[in-house]
Structure 1
């Protein structure tokens, strides 16, 4: 029997089970079922953030630096995008992006060039050094993420990805709109 001052998780349970049990005890009229999913997503996001920061630090990158470099790498071709396209892909303000591009340019990881179709605009291009560092960081990240998901068989990983896609889709649509 759990102690009177707090519930314990069911056998095989986790911290979220303990949190949900406590809320059910102190607020029995409140439906706390969303916590069973979303608190786990939040906790997983925290662990994933730590894992990613570690993978990027091994390449002397901050998470935001990886995000910008990865967006340019994914662009294919000449690996360049406008600052506005980078803003959309990284979900930051234009002022923040200007600061980030300045910092990456000082490190020799990106360079600006005039846009060929509009002399007032610029494009941000990934340099060879930037491509090398983002490719190496991505390889380390993917290896670490594979280890993180190894507790699930391939079919369950695909099912989880599909479920999470359904939950996040309305937010992604709103962000693009």
Structure 2
């Protein structure tokens, strides 16, 4: 294993001295995860900003895009696939609509039914943005071997089942 000490090692060593009975392995894991998340979030946010999008707006466009043609979803389908409150979703949809990236369309059979659809501009933007998004993800994980990526992905999936069975 790597013998380089980081800040998390230092704080764990301090707790080991002050409270040796504490199991600080979870503290080290979560501390490193939170630090990693700050770096990851900053880089991904900067990537999205190049396209005039927030991370949340990117998520809405990407969710609609990855569902395939006709690149439209009902608000409830969007909501369930993104795990947001309806207020947060409405806010994001309103902002994207004002930018001309999505439009709300009424179903021809039932005028009460609404779909949120990508505009041509929105489709073009998300297609470019997702390419940059994946490229930054590849950069962010380049320090890991292919085997480590598979292992880490498996471990995170297993851990996530604790919260999202």
Taking structure 2 as the reference length, the TM-score comes to 0.92
Paired residue for 1:88? 80
SS at match of 1:113: strand
SS at match of 2:162: helix
Cα distance in 1 for partners of 2:108, 2:32 equals 47
**Post-superposition offset of 1:142:** 1.3
SS at match of 1:119: coil
1:111-150 map, 5 Å? 111-116=103-108, 118-150=110-142
Aligned partner (choices 68, 72, 88) of residue 76 of structure 1? 68
Deviations 1:76-123 (A, max 9, x none): 121111111212222221122112111111111001111355432211
Equivalent pairs counted in the alignment come to 164
SS at match of 2:163: helix
Taking structure 1 as the reference length, the TM-score comes to 0.86
Cα distance in 1 for partners of 2:154, 2:144 equals 14
Q: Once superposed, which parts of structure 1, at least 4 consecutive aligned residues long, lie more than 3 Å away?
A: 115-118
Cα distance in 1 for partners of 2:121, 2:138 equals 26
Paired residue for 1:6? none
Aligned partner (choices 141, 145, 154) of residue 162 of structure 1? 154
Q: Which moved more, 1:131-140 or 1:54-63?
A: 131-140
**Post-superposition offset of 1:157:** 0.7
Aligned CA distance change for structure 1 residues 116 and 42 (closer, same or farther; 3 Å):
farther
Gapped regions of structure 2 (runs ≥ 5): none
Greater relative CO, 1 or 2 (CA 8 Å, sep 6+):
2
Paired residue for 2:19? 27
Paired residue for 1:59? 51
Q: Does residue 101 of the first structure (1) align with residue 93 of the second (2)?
A: yes
Gapped regions of structure 1 (runs ≥ 5): 1-9
Paired residue for 1:172? 164
- After superposition, the CA RMSD in angstroms is 1.6
Paired residue for 1:5? none
1:10-49 map, 5 Å? 11-49=3-41
